[in-house]
Amino acid sequence: MLSLNTTPLCDFFGTCGGCSHQNLSYSEQLTLKKKHLLSLFDELYPIDPSLIQDVLPSPTPYHFRHRIDLTIRKLKNNDFVMGYTPKGEKRILEIESCPIARKEISDFIPQLKKEAMAMWPPKYKRANLTVRSDDTLKVRWGGIGKGSLKMKPHEYMYTSIQGRKIHYAMETFFQANLHILPDVITFLTNLLETFPRHTLLDLYSGVGLFGISLEKLFKKVILIEDNKASHELANFNIEYNNLKHVKAFNSSVENALPEILSLVKEDFVIGMIDPPRKGLSSTVRDVLKTNANKLKTLLYISCNPETLVRDLKDLCSESWSINKVYPMDFFPQTSHLETCVLLESQI
């Protein structure tokens, strides 16, 4: 039985809703997350429990988020309140720091309120603020005024992984925990080096984090992303790092994948999929099942264990089998769990 006597660092623990595990030691959190994943597979798609590995820990259990979203509201007495809004509620929990936000962001919160108040438009009643930082430790924010989240190329943020700068912007999705990314990329590199490989298909590629970080392992890398802003950042990252063998396509995976697979002539094609929380559509699952003879190896990275298990049950019904399941703790102090599954073709 897990002990519940670790003192949470946050005064709003149990109220905010952002963290659910601060009352557990970090080792206990990792144990609990693996147990939850095991029980989920056991309930929805039973597999050999030995396939599920221990959880890869975050190097920093606190102060890991490089993005937070806050709400600020002007009161009738012309005062302002700024903080988190608990799920399903309208009230704002006013905060002056956050123990899971990166230190530079947490320390900046009081100054953020001052800056937002100073530029407050007369007709505004409330605003949702996005706050981000990067390897430079500089804090950027937006959310007041049209286009406040837009960034020009010279303003892009970045993180460095294995000698590559991966840029992202205020409005684009990027993994929230920068600290764990080097460990994840090292793990994926070591894993992929054991397989014959020529081409990497990076599906739902975003700004190109995985495809570009792993490009040295492949002669050709193809990125597919339907979000225009993320696609533009992917092209920027390709050009910035001078990667002639990496190509990015702005399309949905549903539309692009069948055509790209029909044109692929090389052996040893590896697929990497990192879909949103809703997981894979039935269309994409069908394409992956039909083309298992071309891909041979598939890495499925998921931020939602429920949709992951659903998709695996379908994929493994005829064309794929699970080699290993690798949980990764991108979100310490919370119940969220990232999972990487290695699948091998059975065709």
Helices (H) and strands (E) in the chain, counts: 9, 14
Name residue 270's beta-bridge partners.
200, 297
57: its two tokens: 């820990």
Q: Which of 10, 98, 303, 340 is catalytic?
A: 303
**CA pair distance 274, 26, nearest whole angstrom:** 26
6: its two tokens: 């670790």
**Annotation says 340 is catalytic:** no
74 Cβ neighbours under 8 A, 6+ residues apart: 80, 120, 124, 125, 126
335: its two tokens: 């119940």
What DSSP line would sit under 263-327, residue for residue?
H---S-EEEEE---TT---HHHHHHHHHTHHHH-EEEEEES-HHHHHHHHHHHTTTTEEEEEEEE
Pairing label, strands 297-302, 269-273: parallel
Name residue 326's beta-bridge partners.
340
**CA pair distance 54, 57, nearest whole angstrom:** 9
Positions marked active-site: 303
